[in-house]
Amino acid sequence: MESVAGLIRKLQLLLHRQRFNRELEEELAFHREQVEQELRDDGMTMEDAHSLASRRLGNDTRWKEEAHDVIGFTLESVARDVRYAFRQLRKNAGFATTVVVILALGIGAITAIFSAVNPILFKPLPYPQANRVVMIWERQRDGSRRFDCFGTFHGVQKRTRSFDALAAMKAWQPTLVGKTQPERFEGQRVTTDYFRALGVEPVLGRNFEAADDQHKGPNVVILSDGVWRRRFGSNPSIVGQQVTLDGDPFTVIGIMPAGFENVLAPAAELWAPLQYDPSLPPLSREWGHHLNIVGRLRPGVSRQQANSELDVILGILGQMYATGYNESGGVPAGMLVNSLQSDVTGDVRPALLTVLGAVGLVLLIACVNVTNLLVARGVQRSGEFAMRAALGASRKRLTRQLLTESLLLAIIAGALGMFVAELGVRALRALGAPGLPRMNAIAVDGAVFAFALAVTALVGVVVGLIPALQTNRGDLNLALHKCTRVGTSHQTMRRALVVAEVALALVLLVSAGLLLRSLQRLFAVDPGFDGSHLLTMQVQESGHYYDNDANRLQFFKNALEAVGAVPGVVAADFTSQLPLSGDYDVYGVQFEGDNSAEEGGNRYAVSPGYIETMRIPLRRGRLLNERDTTSAPTAVLISESFAKRKYGTQDPIGRRVRMGPDAGQPDKPWATIVGVVGDVKQQSLAVAVEDAFYVPTTQWPWADEVLSLVVRTRGDAAVLAPAVRNAIWSVDKDQPIVRVATMESLLTVSEAQRRFTLIVLEAFALVGLVLAATGIFGVLSGGVSERTREIGIRSALGASRRDILTMVLHQGMKLAAFGVVVGLVGAALASKTLVTLLYGVSRMDPVTYLGVIGLLLAVAAVACWLPASRAARVDPAITLRAE
Amino acid sequence: MAAKPDLMPGTLDLLILKTLTRSPMHGYGIALSIKRLSDEILTVEEGSLYPALQRLLLKGWVRAEWKLTETNRRARYYTLTAAGRKQLGIELSEYEQLITAIGRVLESA
């Protein structure tokens, strides 16, 4: 141990290093002169004295080095190591490049993926005390969650003591009609405390107050920073002025800060008060389940406490408002209080963890490969190291040297990896990872850099340590004699590497394979309709002209006629909700003669030809037609599985139901089931069949102002989009048309998350396979090459080529088989995390497992066979002499 | 040249410190002084003298300053510090204990 004072003196010396050298030189020169003087005093000539003094004193440089060693730090010898390592790597540029590229790809990939995953999974949301922000859902009897209705929100808000702020919200797409084309905005209708629950405030103007969120209250709006800049040129005096949304004047009261990240509706740019009716009239939107509730817990109140309080409150509400709840699917079983973080990221968590795991595996495989390269080089250099050891280099010194070399490689690879990561993050953002929350927060940031650095250093140490141990354990004498009979420890190492490579590759490939098969199964699922040549778009009505139902129906009718006249259109129809588009619109259904609780089903208010245009099969009865008008008795179609569940083998045709607001209302007329149609996937191909019913738009109690148009086309559906749009605008040019997409692209997008995971996973699996294959090849063929001499002896002793091949293959395949066994255990464990991403495939799917095992064993066999056959072909005399 | 006995390890520091008790000296002077006082039996190798002086400097037992010699040459003179004097005391007593112990062993044998 050095004293602190000593350390300070050392530092001073180091800082004034030139002076130290100068003074030392002068001191030594003085000494030399004095010795010469002494010798001359003894009677020597000047020359003799000079040469004798030189001989006696020896080499100046050595003295200086020794003096340096006294004052020097370990750091300096590290610098020497680094310089030496650089020289070594330059001498072996090919080896160094290979290692650096492999590691850089691994490190870059893991950094890019971690960058994407970090803000979603690990970073707190960008709100003060974000852990106190929760989402509140209604809980159904089967434990699943449901959107809240305003009745629940209103009742809870009046009674709860668990929250600092509580707010309900729904999506809102106001249209700003200007001089140019109508522009539709994403926005939210929210109750007073929405921003308070999140913990953010407008940067200009004011927040919502209780006076804003009154039934039939004032039209006020808060703008996002983006809209404010884009549409209003950052003009601060816009606050207090009016803008026109959906034909109504709205007063701008505030601007949100630029940094405000709205994780609940990332695209929302406008916010207006919800303004629902607190008197909660029955049969009103106040009982529709279409709201989300967000809350900020009071400090010290846990989610569990809040949840049990809400359950109690809901019990009271259920009794008070039995009618209100019953007409919209019944009183919920309870409430669910989720943390906002898990709510926002819950859906994508398994996918992201899978991708993170995959990239981790690739990095591991890369490490194993690099280790193998370093070991192989260690063997090549064993002579060099033995020489250095014989010359007096300590074991510690040599170990440090090797560690320095591999750390240096890892650092260079790390720097390059950061570059790869930046490219990767850009690619991920460009790929637009559908459904990935907090996309805009993804960037290579400080935390990620630290992570990459840690990974790099770890890789350096791990990869460096193994060959260092290997070299040191070797017997110097053996190595010095340049004997290539390789030590057993080295062979053990090789074996471990083969097993590791095979095992890691197996885990990676099985995971990718399972997902691939899931996706195959998924796309083979029948959505229930014919999605080819189908163009879809959402048509909205905006403006007060459409405040009355007759005008609404007339516009859609005219629009259909106009679209039908477009060349290339086979048929066109409207529906209130479009399958696989994200629409979700469920209403209660009361069956005549069934007094148990009413059922919920997807409601489709459609124009009469919809079922035919979609090519949904008719199972019984008849389809809707032009005679099912406003004045005719209401006709309804129900889905096949709905019919089977309610009526079993009985014929449902002619049975009667009350739907939506009419359900449970004895004074309302019954509607008659006129037909049964095939099941259609509404939410996702993977979700089980849901109950559904179809009613003519004209016979539903109100006319929807937003409908989706489906157009069956003769040729390519996408090509017709502009013509169809213009046809609608020829009826009324101020009506916004959005979400234009072919049904085929909707089908794809509905599975986008699985597809995204798959693409990324496949990419990594491919990289992993290539790395593992080259790695397995490298390890096995390296092992065989080292045994060239042995093979030579064997063939000299009479072993046939066949014998030798069999022996090498047998030994190599034994290792590969062991790797497969280890990998199977790993894959079985890894597939557990995959379960939520799988569809129609067991996580133990034998086809996938057998396929991957076969592939890896084939790679291993080729890797053994090629070098073995090469060795066996060579004349044993040459092999033996080569030593 | 007659074989010179090696210095016992650690005794070089002791000798340098002791030599410096009389007056500040430069490196050559220290080497010369030790040689003379030991009747030419102990020769301090230059290769170990200067590293030893650096070590003593670092430990703060000696101080160095450039001065002019009687012949007007610049030389680095080493002076014993208070800490060095204390250290000399410690090393002397350790040395005496060591010698006594060795003496006892040799006498009894």
**Of A304, A382, A325, nearest to A146 (Cα)?**
A325
Residue B4 domain-assigned (yes or no): no
**Of A158, A150, A17, nearest to A75 (Cα)?**
A17
Determine which of A435-439, A479-483, B33-37, B52-56 has the lowest per-residue pLDDT on average.
A479-483
Q: A722: Cβ–Cβ under 8 A, 6 or more apart, which residues?
A: none
Q: A672: Cβ–Cβ under 8 A, 6 or more apart, which residues?
A: A633, A634, A635, A636, A654, A655, A656
**Of A869, A832, A826, A824, nearest to A848 (Cα)?**
A824
What are the DSSP E strand ranges found in B1-109?
Answer: 25-26, 62-68, 74-80
Pairing of strands A220-223, A242-245: unpaired
Check A27 against B55: CB less than 8 A apart. no
pLDDT of residue A489: 59
Question: Could you tell me how many helices (H) and strands (E) chain A has, helices first?
Answer: 28, 24
Query: Rounded CA gap, A537 and A512, in Å?
Result: 35
Query: Residue B84 sits in a domain of what CATH number?
Result: 1.10.10.10
pLDDT of residue A210: 92
Query: Is residue A682 a contact partner of residue A602, using CB atoms and an 8 Å limit?
Result: yes
pLDDT of residue A200: 93
Residue A163: burial class (beta carbons within 10 Å; 0-12, 13-18, 19+): buried
pLDDT of residue A588: 81
Query: Rounded CA gap, A458 and A413, in Å?
Result: 12
**Of A769, A800, A784, nearest to A866 (Cα)?**
A784
pLDDT of residue A482: 46
Query: Is residue A505 a contact partner of residue A140, using CB atoms and an 8 Å limit?
Result: no
Structure tokens, A376: 């192989």
**Which residues of B make CB contacts under 8 Å with A?**
26-28, 31-32, 46-48, 50-51, 54-55, 57-60, 66, 73-76
Q: What are phi and psi for residue A569, nearest 5 degrees?
A: -90, 125
pLDDT of residue A392: 61
Nearest 10 degrees: Cα torsion A426, A428, A432, A433: -160
Could you give the residue ranges of the DSSP H alpha helices within A322-445?
A: 322-326, 340-345, 349-380, 382-390, 395-431
Q: Which residues of B touch A58 (CB under 8 A)?
A: 46-47
pLDDT digits (tens, 9 = 90+) for A215-264: 989 999 999 998 899 888 888 999 999 888 877 889 999 999 998 888 88
Check A6 against B58: CB less than 8 A apart. yes
Residue A63 touches chain B, beta carbons under 8 Å = yes
Check A30 against B74: CB less than 8 A apart. yes
Of how many residues is chain B composed?
109
Which segments of chain A have a pLDDT < 50? 1-2, 482-486, 883
Query: Under DSSP, is residue A14 helix (H, G, I), strand (E, B) or coil?
Result: helix
pLDDT of residue A485: 46
Report whether pLDDT(B2) > 60.
no
Check B51 against A26: CB less than 8 A apart. no
Angle formed by the axes of helices A788-796 and A752-786, nearest 10°:
50
Query: Rounded CA gap, A486 and A478, in Å?
Result: 9
Check A6 against B28: CB less than 8 A apart. no
Q: Which amino acid is it at A458?
A: L
* DSSP sequence for A531-545: -TTEEEEEEE--SGG
Structure tokens, A651: 């014929």
Residue B28 domain-assigned (yes or no): yes
Q: What is the DSSP letter of A167?
A: E
Residue A6 touches chain B, beta carbons under 8 Å = yes
* Other Cβ atoms within 10 Å of A351 Cβ, number: 24
Nearest 10 degrees: Cα torsion A806, A807, A809, A812: 170
Q: A552: Cβ–Cβ under 8 A, 6 or more apart, which residues?
A: A541, A546, A703, A704, A705
Query: Is residue A171 a contact partner of residue A151, using CB atoms and an 8 Å limit?
Result: no
Residue with tokens 């002019």: B68
Residue B67 domain-assigned (yes or no): yes
pLDDT of residue A6: 67
**Global pTM?**
0.61
Residue B104 domain-assigned (yes or no): yes
Q: Whole domain around residue B67: which residue ranges?
A: 11-108
Residue A807 touches chain B, beta carbons under 8 Å = no
Query: Rounded CA gap, A117 and A349, in Å?
Result: 9
Residue B43 domain-assigned (yes or no): yes
Check A31 against B59: CB less than 8 A apart. no
What angle is formed at CA A552 by the lines to CA A551 and CA A556, rounded to 5 degrees? 115
pLDDT digits (tens, 9 = 90+) for A582-641: 777 778 888 888 776 677 788 999 999 999 999 999 999 999 998 998 888 999 999 999
The alpha carbon of residue A394 is apart from the nearest alpha carbon of chain B, in Å, by 22
Check A70 against B59: CB less than 8 A apart. no
The alpha carbon of residue B100 is apart from the nearest alpha carbon of chain A, in Å, by 30
Q: Which residues of B touch A57 (CB under 8 A)?
A: 46
Number of compact structural domains in chain B: 1
Domain-wise residue ranges, chain A? 4-72, 144-332, 349-524+752-881, 543-733
Residue A76 touches chain B, beta carbons under 8 Å = no
**Which of B12, B13, B28, B63 would best serve as a mutation to test chain A binding (most A beta carbons within 10 A)?**
B28
